[in-house]
Structure 1
Amino acid sequence: MSMARSSPRFKELLCQVVWRKAQFREVSISDAMLAPLNKQDYMYFFELTSAHMEKLYIWNVHKKAFDSYLGRHLLRPDLTFYLRLDLTNLRELCITDDQMNNSMIQTVTKSCPDLCSLSVSSAYITGKFIVGLPNLKTLVARECSVEPEYLAELLTKLQLSTLDLTANKHKVEQTILEAPTVGLVHLQRLGISDAQDCGFRIAEQLPQLKELVVSYQDVQAEDQCDMLKTTKELVESSTPEFLNRLQMILCNVVDMEVALEQIAGLETRSPRQSPKFCELLKIIYKCK
């Protein structure tokens, strides 16, 4: 880094190295190679090389970057620094930071015009401005607050192949079910929380899905049993084609897994006499 500052030729060489080597085009701010750099050199590195990056992973910046009340500076810049970089070649961006907000999403739409994959996790993300990424194929927005109206717009204007809204603040199942076919035809993987009937209706209505993940939190045992009963009735009355599509159902509760396997006709084991339920239940449909 010091040599790059001292000579235009060394500066050019540093950029060429990054451009040529695939491992540098995929960068995480937690990468061990960046650990020895002080804040000034760290920022200089990103300013020189960001234009060549294709994948960028940013983790919990707010915990590492702020000015203390004593005036001491920590070793890393704040989140806005990364969003101001030249990211014109970026294809995949992952920001796991609960300070991410809609205004920053708007910045991303301007700085990353060809972005294909966006992953964010923040309660301040409502889905606004995401539609400004016309090439987006993968949207992972776990623990966000994506609003139904913005989701409907996304499903209408973008051709998403992967959508993960696990633990979203708002209920979005009905919005997905009511979305126009043109917005769902490319959707192959979907993550959603608190879907009715273990996600049966979504799995039935979207036959192009290859993977559907349904999660539940703080579900009462009685309610879950009622849902399983209803789901079993729906499965029994469904077409043989749906049963053939349903290859595997998984969850993190042993007794629930047995019950679901029985519903799908995949297993004949019996649950224990005293079934136990935990606070988090996740069901995964994997289809052909």
Structure 2
Amino acid sequence: MRMNIDQLNDDCLCIILEYLTLPDQIAMARSSLRYEELLAEIVWRKPRYREVSISDDMLAPLNKEDYIYFFKLTSTYMEKLYIWNVHDKAFDSYLGRHLMRPELAFYLCLNLNNLRELCVTDNYMNNSMIQNVTKSCPHLHSLSVSSAYITGMFMVGLHNLQTLVARECSIEAEHLAELLAQLQLTTLDLTSNRYNLEQTILEAPAAGLLRLQRLGISDAQDCGFRIAEQLPQLKELVVSYHGVMAQDLHDMLDTTRQLVESSDTKFPKRLQSIMCNVVDVEVALEQITGLETRCPRESPKFCEILKIIYKCK
């Protein structure tokens, strides 16, 4: 007895569709409205499709038209989306004549109503695209971006944002002050930012810093002592420096030692570990805070990149 596949009930069809490759699933979805609804409403709502990276192997076989079709149907169910270097993936020649993938703006204008986490690592990301994100991702909890064209403008429109990672950006003081005043951030990473933002953080209203547990910042004064002292609720503080000369390190360690000795706070007791990529500096900081008995050399080495991580109680 022969049976037409269209005579099967929805449950049986979904089981069959799940065994198909993604290109075949899309071909089936294009063949009839019923298959499109079954795939979009049931199959593509499964966990593996709710967390998507544009570098995922499952997307590689798709041509541009099917790729766009898939994203338009599934974007409303996505909870996490990771976008990496779109420009490199969009073109298959240095002249850019053959588009293989949509440009960055395509993703940020999708209906991402359920998205909770968005990571965009692309030098072409800019403020206007952040504005699009505020409209398309109203429930976003975590945003990670990396672009010199991002100044922090429009980010305050992400009312549910709890985690902001903006490495190698150009976040400006006025926009950061607005973010700290209006959002309840728990994680803030501003390492390698174009501008020094330490003072802006220190001057922020206490209410805006109340939930902040993890902070990353570059070029903080005195090895991050002032930040650690004034933000006692922090569980992790990352302070990074680039191209610090040996004499500058030596002077900064001396100043930090004096501040710790004259401080009435429990700063030394809050530190569980101090890690960096220059052994002499690590030993000196541990000695300053009472965690280490080794003696560093009289003058620390020059370092291209210095990263200090404070793990607090």
TM-score, normalised relative to structure 2:
0.88
Conserved 8 A contact 1:109-1:133 = yes
- 3-state SS of paired residue (1:279): strand
**Alignment correspondent of 2:177:** 152
Given the alignment of the two structures, is residue 88 of structure 1 paired with residue 117 of structure 2, yes or no? no
**Aligned match of 1:236:** 261
The one of 261, 274, 283 aligned to 1:249: 274
CA contact (8 A) 1:66 1:77 kept: no
Moved more, 62-71 or 89-98: 62-71
Displacement of 1:241: 2.3
Alignment CA distance shift 1:61-1:71 (3 Å) = closer
- Alignment equivalent of 2:60, drawn from 18, 35, 56: 35
Q: Given residue 234 of structure 1, which amino acid in structure 2 is its aligned partner?
A: L
In structure 1, the residue matched to 2:144 is: 119
* Residues 185-219 of structure 1, C-alpha deviations (whole Å, 9 max, x = no match): 01000000000001100100000000010000011
Q: Which residue of 2 aligns with 1:7?
A: 32
Query: Which letter does structure 2 place at the counterpart of 1:91?
Result: R
Segments of 5+ residues of structure 1 without an aligned counterpart are none
Shift of 1:70: 6.3
1:275-286 aligned within 5 A? 275-286=300-311
Structure 2: distance between partners of 1:222 and 1:212: 24
Cα distance between partner residues in 1 of 2:289 and 2:184: 31
**What is the CA–CA distance in structure 1 between the aligned matches of 2:298 and 2:96, rounded to whole Å?**
61
SS of the equivalent of 1:119 reads strand
5+ residue gaps, structure 2, are: 1-25
CA distance in 2, matches of 1:7, 1:252: 59
Distance 1:195 1:109 in 2: 30
How far apart, CA to CA, are the structure 2 residues paired with 1:110 and 1:45?
21
Equivalent pair of 1:25/1:54 in contact (CA under 8 Å)? yes
Supply the distance in 2 between the matched residues of 1:170 and 1:270 (Cα, whole angstroms). 34
TM-score, normalization by structure 1: 0.96
Cα RMSD after superposing both structures: 1.6
The correspondence for 2:82, drawn from 36, 45, 57, is 57
State whether residues 138 and 161 of structure 1, in contact with CA within 8 Å, keep that contact through their aligned partners in structure 2: yes
Structure 1 residue aligned with 2:4: none
State the secondary structure of the residue aligned to 1:2: helix
- C-alpha distance 145-240 of structure 1, shift in aligned 2 (>3 A): closer
